């Protein structure tokens, strides 16, 4: 038998790959330059003599170091370009690819994302599936548009259905509480509001804004400001890219704040915080059915769509969210009375970024002053000096693209509304049912049908 040194195979494969690219790259660039030549000819015919526009639209970036603009190459080579939520598609046409939209308006369209009800309701929430089916039949599983027949069940006179809905939600919350306990050692009370933000850890998704609100609640409790208090379990989960320093620092902050809150006997009966490690799709099948309040708080204009927001909605969670991504369409379908909207919209974000001064928001808001003072005092990093320096600097920076402090007051006010609503059990149950009953549009079946009818034409 011949002996093969397998340790040499990766090196040999890498050398072969490099050699292949060295031979192919000149030919590939020749093809790209030819595509660009033909394309710019079309641009020149549309806008004669507009050399600035030709430079803007060129597939080859004409700078000291020439680069291929891959997104432009993809647009030129495609017959259809779509965003994945209404706002996302509008921003592509009005901003990032405006020149291309003006050249080929017929090429651009919208296809709002969806998720499958077979997995995210029928599989993830079997007791709720049975209750819905008993009420409106089984057709909704294969055609989620039928779910709208559930809206009549949200009416106050359907008290028996409301009690069954509540019991199922409590059972799902107990299941989620067990997951949190096993993964983190933090004990969640199923009678408290389950306030959940699980998604990729990124500054634009603003887990930081969520943590600032938690610190605000902590300060309120320590100051004895607990009249009409709503007990709350806050769960944050997600993964950070390996090289993303700020995302990892955000995870560290969540855990440090959680350690202080959960170990304080004055606080932990009223507020709990946990970071769920190793968040994944299987965990989401337990998280979505057990969530009361879904946190969708990205800076407006930054989220393409989101699909976690749809999974939560289908399972009867109420959304607290910005006017961003598919939140906008969720709001349109469920109605303002069943959604906690806050913050700047995309146009206001663009305007604010021209003159953003976070210190003004701190000076004008005593609650925010208290939060920043406690965070900067080192209270959450007593034995780790300056570990959160970069986070604090980003919050205070006038160049913070996520405008964290600009939305703080509005977020706190919306959270107060959510807390007050949760104390009114019948009102919350009705809104929960309405969210599930209004989720029919967000099925992948609808999304794929639109792709097929308007793009693929299979």
Catalytic residues: 6, 199-200, 205, 307, 311
The residues with which 236 forms a beta bridge, in sequence order, are 197, 275
Alpha helices in 263-357 (DSSP H): 281-287, 308-314, 327-334, 346-352
442: nearest Cα among 287, 296, 334, 286: 334
Scan for tokens 């969530």, then name that residue: 291
Q: CA distances (Å), 190 to each of 37, 129, 234, 351, in order?
A: 64, 21, 12, 42
Q: Are strands 339-341 and 81-83 parallel, antiparallel or unpaired?
A: unpaired
Q: In terms of DSSP H, where are the helices of 2-111?
A: 9-46, 51-57, 70-76, 86-91, 98-103
CA–CA separation, 377 vs 382, rounded Å? 9
Q: How many whole angstroms separate alpha carbon 251 and alpha carbon 244?
A: 11
- Helix (H) and strand (E) counts for the chain? 20, 10
As a whole number of angstroms, the distance between CA 249 and CA 388 comes to: 7
Among 264, 308, 262, which residue's Cα sits nearest to residue 285? 308
Distance CA 240, CA 246 (A): 9
Q: What is the DSSP letter of 119?
A: I
**Residue for token pair 């790259």:** 25
Name the DSSP letter for residue 197.
E
Q: Please, is 144 exposed, middle or buried when counting C-beta atoms within 10 Å of its C-beta (0-12, 13-18, 19+)?
A: buried
Query: What burial letters (b/e) apply to 322-358, b meaning 16+ CB within 10 Å?
Result: bbbbbbbbbbebbeeebbbbbbbbbeebeeebeebeb
Other residues' Cβ atoms within 10 Å of the Cβ of residue 378: 14
């Amino acid at each position: 038998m011949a002996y093969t040194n397998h340790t040499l195979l990766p090196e040999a494969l890498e050398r072969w790959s490099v050699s292949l690219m060295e031979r192919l790259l000149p030919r590939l660039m020749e093809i790209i330059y030819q595509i660009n030549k033909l394309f710019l000819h079309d641009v020149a015919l549309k806008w004669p003599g507009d050399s600035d526009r030709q430079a803007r639209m060129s597939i080859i970036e004409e700078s000291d170091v020439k680069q291929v603009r891959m997104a432009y190459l993809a647009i030129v080579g495609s017959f259809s370009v779509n965003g994945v939520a209404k706002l996302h598609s509008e921003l592509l046409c009005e901003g990032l690819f405006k020149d291309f939209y003006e050249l080929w308006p017929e090429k651009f369209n919208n296809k709002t994302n969806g998720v499958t009800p077979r997995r995210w309701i029928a599989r993830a929430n079997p007791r709720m599936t049975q209750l819905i089916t008993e009420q409106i039949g089984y057709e909704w599983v294969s055609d989620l548009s039928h779910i709208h027949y559930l809206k009549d069940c949200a009416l106050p006179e359907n008290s028996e259905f409301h009690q069954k809905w509540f019991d199922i939600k409590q059972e799902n919350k107990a299941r989620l509480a067990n997951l949190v306990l096993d993964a983190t050692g933090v004990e969640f009370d199923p009678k408290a509001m389950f306030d959940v933000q699980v998604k990729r850890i990124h500054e634009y998704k603003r887990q930081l804004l969520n943590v600032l609100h938690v610190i605000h609640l902590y300060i309120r409790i320590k100051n004895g400001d607990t009249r009409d208090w709503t007990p709350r379990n806050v769960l944050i989960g997600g993964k950070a890219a390996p090289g993303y320093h700020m995302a990892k620092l955000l995870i560290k902050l969540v855990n440090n704040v959680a350690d202080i809150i959960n170990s304080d006997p004055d606080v932990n009966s009223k507020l709990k915080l946990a970071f769920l490690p190793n968040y994944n799709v299987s965990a989401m099948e337990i998280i979505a059915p057990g969530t009361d309040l879904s946190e969708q708080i990205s800076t407006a204009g930054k989220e393409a769509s989101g699909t976690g927001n749809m999974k939560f909605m289908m399972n009867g969670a109420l959304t607290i969210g910005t006017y961003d991504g598919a939140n906008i369409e969720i709001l349109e379908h469920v109605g303002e009375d069943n959604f906690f909207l806050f913050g700047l919209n995309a146009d206001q974000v663009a305007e604010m970024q021209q003159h953003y001064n976070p210190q003004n928001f701190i000076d004008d808001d005593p609650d925010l002053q208290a939060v920043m003072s406690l965070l900067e005092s080192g209270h959450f990093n007593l034995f780790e000096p300056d570990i959160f320096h970069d986070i604090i600097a980003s919050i205070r920076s006038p160049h913070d693209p996520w405008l964290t402090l600009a939305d703080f007051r509005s977020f706190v006010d919306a959270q107060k509304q959510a807390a007050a609503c949760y104390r009114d059990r019948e009102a919350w149950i009705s809104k929960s049912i309405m969210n599930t009953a209004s989720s029919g549009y967000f099925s992948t079946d609808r999304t794929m049908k639109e792709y097929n009818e308007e793009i693929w034409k299979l």
